């Protein structure tokens, strides 16, 4: 697992702060009749004005500054002027910021206007899955203890966990070892080490766990067409506990 120097951690905290602030800004501007491309352009400008760079832009050819995924799209939605947000939609926005060579990564699922109680519950449970997971993240534990806790909480609430997409290490690159699944046994995964930096990101489906990749080669949607929610933070494992860097 990664082990950044104190000066690198200072830069990473700044990347994470910009990521957090961009998501808070997103929550304040998202509304019905806005296209996902318009939202992406506003977020890109905000990130650059804060001194960061939207690291998703151009990553392996991805065209957007952010990933914006509506309703049954789990992740990696390409911003488009053809996708218009409607009252009652839920929208997952995933932002990665690079700042002076270090990265921050976080995601939230937002309501568009007034949403159904069922969609709100999905958002709430997905967020709590993250917090249930990190209760089990500590130096010397297996990473599988976090993964198992996320899965157990999601399934206890009647939801399912996506298998094909996982969290990851993060630091000097957007994606670093180890993989951080949202499912599994407590005995799975590597031993957690001090100063590990991880992107923990439950992706929880209202219906079945199965997903498929759409024709653009990026967007991943639920096979049953039911909604999915996403909640992610970058965390730093310290001897004093877990620092949630994007909160």
Domains assigned to the chain: 6-244 (3.90.230.10)
Q: Give 30-89 pLDDT, tens digit per residue.
A: 999 999 999 999 999 999 999 999 999 999 999 999 999 999 999 999 999 999 999 999
Give the mean model confidence (pLDDT) for residues 235-246: 97
Length of the chain: 247
Q: pTM for this one?
A: 0.97
φ, ψ for residue 159, nearest 5 deg: -110, 175
Output the average pLDDT for the chain.
Answer: 98
Q: Which residues have C-beta within 8 Å of that of residue 58, sequence separation ≥ 6?
A: none
The rounded distance, in Å, linking the Cα atoms of 220 and 217 is 8
> 12 falls in which pLDDT band (50, 70, 90)?
very high
Q: What region does 108 belong to: left with phi over 0, alpha with psi -120 to 50, or beta?
A: beta
Q: Give 113-145 pLDDT, tens digit per residue.
A: 999 999 999 999 999 999 999 999 999 999 999
Q: Which residues have C-beta within 8 Å of that of residue 10, sequence separation ≥ 6?
A: none
Task: Give the Cβ contact number of residue 81 at 10 Å.
Answer: 11
Give the mean model confidence (pLDDT) for residues 217-225: 98
């Amino acid at each position: 697992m990664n082990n950044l120097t104190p000066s690198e951690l200072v830069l990473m905290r700044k990347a994470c702060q910009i990521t957090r602030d961009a998501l808070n800004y997103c929550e304040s501007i998202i509304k019905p009749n806005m296209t996902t491309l318009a939202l992406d352009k506003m977020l890109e400008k905000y990130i650059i004005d804060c001194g960061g760079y939207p690291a998703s832009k151009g990553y392996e050819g991805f065209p957007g500054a952010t990933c914006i995924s509506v309703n049954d799209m789990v992740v990696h939605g390409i911003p488009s002027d053809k996708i218009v947000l409607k009252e009652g939609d839920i929208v997952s926005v995933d932002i990665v910021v690079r700042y002076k060579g270090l990265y921050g990564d976080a995601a939230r699922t937002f309501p568009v206007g007034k949403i159904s109680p069922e969609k709100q519950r999905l958002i709430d449970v997905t967020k709590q899955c993250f917090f249930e997971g990190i209760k089990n993240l500590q130096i010397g534990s297996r990473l599988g203890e976090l993964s198992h806790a996320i899965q157990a909480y999601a399934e206890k609430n009647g939801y399912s966990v996506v298998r094909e997409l996982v969290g990851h290490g993060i630091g000097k690159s957007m994606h670093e070892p180890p993989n951080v699944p949202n499912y599994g046994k407590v005995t799975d995964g590597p031993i957690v080490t001090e100063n590990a930096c991880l992107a923990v990101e439950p992706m929880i489906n209202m219906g079945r766990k199965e997903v498929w990749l759409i024709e653009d080669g990026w967007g991943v949607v639920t096979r049953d067409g039911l909604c999915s929610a996403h909640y992610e933070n970058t965390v730093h494992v310290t001897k004093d506990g877990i620092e949630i860097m994007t909160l």
